[in-house]
């Protein structure tokens, strides 16, 4: 490293922001994340080398490394050179170069530790690099104890002078979560190397007082392929409320275990550079005063550092909070890395570097792309360096700030009213607050709609570091009696904001902002299929203990020798496909119940244990049920759900059908994406028509509605709601294959409804007649059409038999959205078994 480069970097670290430091939070804490022993949301991907997040002794003090100190040396496995890696053209580090570089740094410096945080969908290692001064195991134990104290006993932590002086403040830098937004990785590598090798007093002091964690590439599969999504087609920066992907679960583990005071998520590309904080709406479950005072101050420092680079392309960085209209770049949903991290006590940012290298990748000369990439790396380095410097200068205030977040949660205090001008520009448009209930109860026994769904919800809360208790004896709350075994989410807990953002209904913010960046409504309570009660206030006189996993739910409640029944009230109960795939002859009753013959009881017991489903005793007439094969023109999220439910799915599209597709073994065609009937060749149309005379069809959304119309299936006129309308909606069930036993809430993203229903077309679900939207953002278009009031009372899902002979279901809702709407999957399974005959 040249003298001038080192001097510039050190100056960046030590630069004092031109903005006055915010006042220190008034003093008045991390148990390791409680990973369930089993359950649908556990990340069971094995790590190579040192296992990050390995479980330790019952005390659980040091979950990240088996009580080892620092450095933690891991000999990373190396990968063959891949000349097709899309990073190479940009002059950036291809994935295969990362392990050798990190192995060399570990050998060279005792400040560098590399652990494998998990694997990508295609099995590539995810590297977590820690930069800090060497620590003995005892010193690391003390750091872990202090971190736990901050979350678990924040009152004590606030009074602990040794903690305030000795705690090494954690900072997390996340990079390359979108695979074709490459340069965060390369900027992070530059900072890692300088911190690892510089021997000046400033660097040594930084590493003595802080720990810096770098997730080098959060999406290596996307990086290599040069695509935004991961290998499964998921946008990882939309997955944090759900954790459906291995990469997302690894990041969740990182933020829970490191408990950063500040974090950056390095993205691209926004002209000039974008630096959060966001526009309104701000998540209503945050203690926003504790976030914005430091967030805005550090953003101004990053802005100055980016300007000081001297590139004309970085002369005017943009801060959405200050510079953008409301809703254009909001901080509402907990689906993004930065917004999710705030619920774990972090002051967090999305950073968008300026120079676009992905949309012009194929058409722009390599030299120009590399010039742009170098500018982007400079911006990444500037934002990281400024943040490191800010944390180092304000470490005591930031520690107090995180303690106060957890203290308020544990005390159950209401959110603070934030005055105008709290930071420059803060006004009424920035105020978003909620009222935390005293508790949520997830009942056991007869009042629980689905024990399977309840266990899934509990396990999900637990892996997100939300604390859940289980009652040891019956109890009464808010005038209602609950049996022993019921679950209690006491909202007097450090991460009450995360608990509430998952369990509350949310808000209809349609009238508050004109636009939203992405989804505006979600609710694990309303969309995951479990019964959950709200206790608004009062004491909690409940004898209960904290748990780390939900109780098992699978079993058989039928006398030996009797046929078994499986009611499709949850997507897990599509475990019937497991039995079908074993060659067991099943039946199906008129109401959709699956009947398993008595002689298959051993297999049913295995399925009950594997999926957590419960078999009861069967009764009534039933018709044979056979294994179903689907031809599916669907999005990646829908494909995952269908396969997770055990269906044999064969992806199709317009191109696939035009190339000649064999429908002979297909029972049902599912159309929601990538298939246009009017673009099929004559031969392909004939093949589809022949199938439609015998097979079932399910459609969803605009593509599905057009397919239904063009193919002449059901007499139902589709009406498109506002294209950006999205959220949780209230529905009225009307029986039929979808409406029977369904939830009274659903989800929409670009809603549809159906009018002018012809003879034999049945409305399985209708939007509520009063106000359909429970939570989200759904406005009418400028011409007055497409709003939620126009949808009120209209058919949201319809079913019937087509003129060609096959059974058809049309969804105007979105029942498999991003693998999140888990309580709606049973509707899809019921529709498939019904329509496929």
756-775 burial code (b ≥16 CB/10 A, e <16): ebeeebbbbbbbbeeebbbb
Residue 459 has pLDDT above 80, yes or no: yes
Q: Are residues 729 and 807 in the same domain?
A: yes
Q: How many helices (H) and strands (E) does the chain have?
A: 26, 34
- How would you class 164 by CB atoms within 10 Å of its CB: exposed for 0-12, middle for 13-18, buried for 19 or more? middle
pLDDT at 837: 87
The region, left, alpha or beta by phi > 0 then psi within -120 to 50, assigned to residue 390 is alpha
Q: Are 479 and 53 in contact (CB under 8 A)?
A: no
Measured in residues, the chain has a length of: 837
Residue-wise pLDDT tens digits, 574-591: 989 999 999 999 999 999
From the candidates 276, 352, 573, 638, give the one annotated as an active-site residue. Answer: 352
Residue-wise pLDDT tens digits, 515-564: 999 999 999 999 999 999 999 999 999 999 999 999 999 999 999 999 99
In 464-568, alpha helices (H): 496-503, 524-527
Task: Average the pLDDT over 320-349 and give the result.
Answer: 98
Residue 420 belongs to a domain: no
Q: Are residues 619 and 636 in the same domain?
A: no
pLDDT at 47: 32
**Helix or strand run (H / E) with residue 119:** strand 112-119
pLDDT band at 270 (very low <50, low <70, confident <90, very high): very high
Q: Domain count for the chain, please give it.
A: 4
What residues pair up with 212 in beta bridges, in sequence order?
A: 131, 171
pLDDT at 50: 36
d(CA 439, CA 161): 33
Q: Are residues 515 and 559 in the same domain?
A: no
How many other C-beta atoms lie within 10 A of the C-beta of residue 720? 17
Distances, alpha carbon 173 to alpha carbons 135, 217, 287, 357, 387, in Å:
21, 10, 22, 22, 10
The predicted model scores a pTM of 0.92
pLDDT band at 329 (very low <50, low <70, confident <90, very high): very high
Residue-wise pLDDT tens digits, 686-707: 999 999 999 999 999 999 999 9
- For residue 135, indicate whether it is catalytic: no
Residue-wise pLDDT tens digits, 722-770: 999 999 999 999 999 999 999 999 999 999 999 999 999 999 999 999 9
With a CB cutoff of 8 Å and minimum separation 6, the contacts of 823 are: 450, 453, 526, 527, 528, 529, 530, 570, 743
- Percent of the chain having pLDDT more than 70? 92
d(CA 197, CA 109): 7
Q: Are residues 612 and 672 in the same domain?
A: no
Q: Are residues 241 and 297 in the same domain?
A: yes
Question: What CATH number is given to the structural domain containing 153?
Answer: 3.40.630.10
pLDDT at 67: 63
Distances, alpha carbon 744 to alpha carbons 401, 531, 827, in Å:
41, 12, 12
d(CA 816, CA 644): 11
pLDDT at 267: 98
The region, left, alpha or beta by phi > 0 then psi within -120 to 50, assigned to residue 784 is left
Task: Average the pLDDT over 497-519 and give the result.
Answer: 97
pLDDT at 68: 86
d(CA 459, CA 701): 31
Residue 433 belongs to a domain: no
Residue 166 has pLDDT above 80, yes or no: yes
Of 769, 768, 787, the C-alpha closest to 777 is: 787
Q: Are residues 381 and 463 in the same domain?
A: no
How many other C-beta atoms lie within 10 A of the C-beta of residue 209? 17
Residue 225 belongs to a domain: yes
Residue 609 belongs to a domain: yes
Residue 659 has pLDDT above 80, yes or no: yes
d(CA 294, CA 393): 12
Q: Are 254 and 215 in contact (CB under 8 A)?
A: yes
- What string of DSSP letters covers 545-559? EE-SSPPP--EEES-
Residue 18 has pLDDT above 50, yes or no: no
Q: Are residues 490 and 581 in the same domain?
A: no
- What string of DSSP letters covers 628-677? -EEEEE--HHHHHHHHHTT-EEEE--HHHHHTT---TT--EEEESSS--G
Residue 418 belongs to a domain: no
d(CA 786, CA 686): 35
Q: Are residues 464 and 612 in the same domain?
A: no
71 upstream amide cis, omega within 30 of 0? yes
Q: Are residues 91 and 187 in the same domain?
A: yes
| Mean pLDDT over the full length of the chain | 92
Residue 16 has pLDDT above 80, yes or no: no
What residues pair up with 504 in beta bridges, in sequence order?
A: none
Task: Average the pLDDT over 769-778 and give the result.
Answer: 97
Q: Domain span at residue 520?
A: 439-546
Residue 338 belongs to a domain: yes
Coil, helix or strand at residue 823: helix
Q: Are residues 733 and 801 in the same domain?
A: yes
Task: Average the pLDDT over 111-117 and give the result.
Answer: 98
- Percent of the chain having pLDDT more than 90? 92
Please compute Rg for the chain using Cα positions.
Answer: 27
Domain boundary among 500, 518, 546: 546
Q: Are 601 and 564 in contact (CB under 8 A)?
A: yes
Angle in degrees, 0-180, between the axes of helices 366-393 and 183-197, rounded to the nearest 10? 50
Task: Average the pLDDT over 204-223 and give the result.
Answer: 98
Indicate if the alpha-carbon torsion angle 592, 598, 599, 604 is positive or negative. Answer: positive
Maximum Cα–Cα distance across the chain: 84
pLDDT band at 62 (very low <50, low <70, confident <90, very high): very low
Residue 802 belongs to a domain: yes
Q: Are 360 and 366 in contact (CB under 8 A)?
A: no
Q: Are residues 620 and 644 in the same domain?
A: no
CA angle at 64 for the pair 62 and 68, rounded to the nearest 5°: 70
Pairing of strands 533-535, 469-471: unpaired
d(CA 220, CA 517): 25
Domain boundary among 576, 591, 625: 625
pLDDT band at 103 (very low <50, low <70, confident <90, very high): very high
Of 209, 112, 135, the C-alpha closest to 168 is: 209
Q: Are 761 and 716 in contact (CB under 8 A)?
A: yes
Residue-wise pLDDT tens digits, 353-411: 999 999 999 999 999 999 999 999 999 999 999 999 999 999 999 999 999 999 999 99
Domain boundary among 593, 625, 657: 625
DSSP letter at 26 equals P
Q: Determine the straight-line distance between the first and last CA of the chain, rounded to whole angstroms.
A: 70
Q: Are residues 539 and 562 in the same domain?
A: no
Residue 430 belongs to a domain: no
The side-by-side arrangement of strands in the sheet containing 544-546 is 533-535, 439-442, 487-490, 469-471, 544-546
């Amino acid at each position: 490293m040249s003298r001038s480069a080192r001097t510039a970097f050190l100056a960046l670290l030590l630069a004092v922001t031109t903005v006055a430091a915010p006042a220190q939070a008034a003093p008045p804490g991390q148990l390791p994340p409680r990973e369930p022993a089993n359950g649908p949301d556990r990340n069971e991907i094995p790590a190579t080398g040192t296992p990050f997040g390995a479980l330790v002794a019952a005390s659980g003090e040091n979950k990240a490394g088996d009580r080892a100190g620092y450095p933690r040396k891991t000999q990373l496995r190396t990968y063959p050179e891949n000349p097709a890696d899309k990073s190479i053209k940009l002059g950036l580090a291809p994935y295969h170069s990362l392990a050798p570089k990190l192995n060399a740094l570990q050998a060279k410096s005792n400040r560098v530790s590399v652990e494998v945080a998990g694997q990508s969908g295609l099995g590539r290692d995810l590297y977590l690099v820690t930069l800090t001064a060497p620590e003995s195991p005892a010193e690391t134990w003390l750091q872990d104890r202090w971190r736990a104290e901050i979350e678990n006993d924040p009152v004590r932590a606030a009074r602990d002078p040794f903690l305030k002086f000795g705690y090494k403040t954690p900072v997390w830098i996340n990079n390359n979560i979108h695979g074709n937004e490459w340069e965060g990785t390369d900027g992070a590598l530059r900072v890692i190397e300088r911190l690892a090798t510089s021997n000046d007093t400033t660097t040594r002091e930084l590493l003595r007082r802080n720990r810096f964690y770098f997730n080098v590439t959060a999406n290596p599969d996307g990086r290599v392929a040069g695509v935004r999504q991961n290998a499964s087609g998921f946008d990882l920066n939309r997955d944090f409320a759900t954790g459906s992907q291995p990469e997302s679960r690894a990041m969740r583990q990182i933020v829970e275990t490191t408990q950063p005071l500040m974090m950056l998520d390095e993205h691209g590309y926004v002209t000039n550079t974008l630096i959060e904080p966001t526009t309104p709406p701000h998540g209503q479950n945050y203690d926003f005063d504790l976030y914005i005072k430091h967030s805005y101050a550090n953003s101004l420092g990053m802005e100055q550092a980016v300007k000081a680079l001297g590139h004309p392309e970085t002369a005017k960085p943009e801060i959405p909070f200050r510079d953008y209209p409301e809703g254009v770049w909001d901080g509402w949903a907990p689906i993004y890395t930065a917004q999710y991290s705030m619920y774990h006590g972090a002051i967090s940012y999305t950073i968008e570097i300026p120079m676009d290298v992905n949309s012009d990748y194929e058409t722009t000369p390599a030299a120009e792309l590399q010039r742009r990439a170098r500018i982007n790396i400079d911006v990444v380095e500037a934002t990281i360096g400024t943040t490191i410097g800010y944390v180092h200068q304000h470490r005591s205030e930031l520690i107090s700030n995180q303690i106060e977040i957890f203290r308020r949660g544990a005390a159950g205090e209401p959110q603070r009213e934030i005055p105008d001008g709290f930071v420059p520009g803060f006004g009424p448009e920035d105020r978003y607050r909620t009222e935390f209930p005293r508790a949520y109860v997830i009942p056991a026994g007869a009042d629980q709609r689905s024990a399977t769904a309840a266990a899934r919800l509990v396990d999900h809360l637990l892996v997100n570091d939300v604390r859940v208790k289980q009652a040891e004896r019956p109890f009464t709350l808010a005038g209602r009696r609950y049996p022993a075994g019921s679950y209690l989410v006491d909202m007097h807990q450090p991460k009450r904001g995360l608990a509430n953002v998952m369990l509350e209904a949310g808000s209809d913010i349609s009238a508050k902002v004109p636009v939203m960046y992405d989804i505006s409504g979600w609710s694990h309570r309303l969309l995951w299929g479990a019964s959950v009660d709200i206790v608004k206030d009062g004491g909690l006189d409940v004898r209960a203990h904290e748990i780390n996993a939900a109780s098992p739910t699978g079993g058989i409640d039928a006398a030996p020798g009797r046929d078994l029944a499986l009611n499709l009230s949850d997507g897990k109960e599509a475990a019937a496909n497991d039995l079908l795939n074993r060659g067991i002859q099943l039946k199906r009753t008129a109401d959709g119940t699956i009947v398993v013959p008595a002689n298959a009881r051993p297999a049913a017991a295995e399925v009950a244990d594997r999926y957590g489903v419960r078999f009861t005793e069967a009764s009534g007439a039933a018709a044979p049920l056979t294994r179903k094969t689907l031809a599916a023109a669907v999005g990646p999220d829908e494909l995952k759900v269908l396969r997770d439910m055990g269906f044999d799915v064969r992806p199709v599209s317009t191109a696939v059908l035009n190339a000649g597709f064999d429908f002979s073994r297909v029972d049902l065609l599912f159309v929601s994406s990538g298939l246009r009937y009017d673009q099929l060749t004559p031969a392909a149309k004939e093949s589809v028509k022949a199938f439609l005379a015998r097979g079932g069809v399910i459609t969803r959304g605009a593509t599905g509605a057009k397919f239904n119309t063009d193919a002449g299936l059901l007499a139902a006129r589709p009406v498109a709601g506002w294209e950006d309308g999205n959220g949780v909606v209230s529905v009225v069930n009307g029986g039929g294959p979808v409406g029977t036993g369904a939830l009274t809430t659903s989800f929409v993203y670009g809603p549809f409804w159906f009018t002018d229903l012809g003879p034999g077309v049945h409305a399985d679900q209708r939007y509520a007649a009063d106000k359909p939207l429970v939570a989200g953002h759904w406005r009418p278009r400028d011409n007055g059409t497409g709003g939620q009031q126009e949808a009120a009372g209209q058919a949201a899902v319809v079913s019937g038999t087509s003129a060609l002979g096959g059974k058809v279901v049309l969804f105007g809702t979105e029942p498999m959205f991003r693998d999140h709407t888990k309580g709606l999957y049973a509707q899809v399974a019921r529709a498939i078994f019904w329509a496929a005959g």
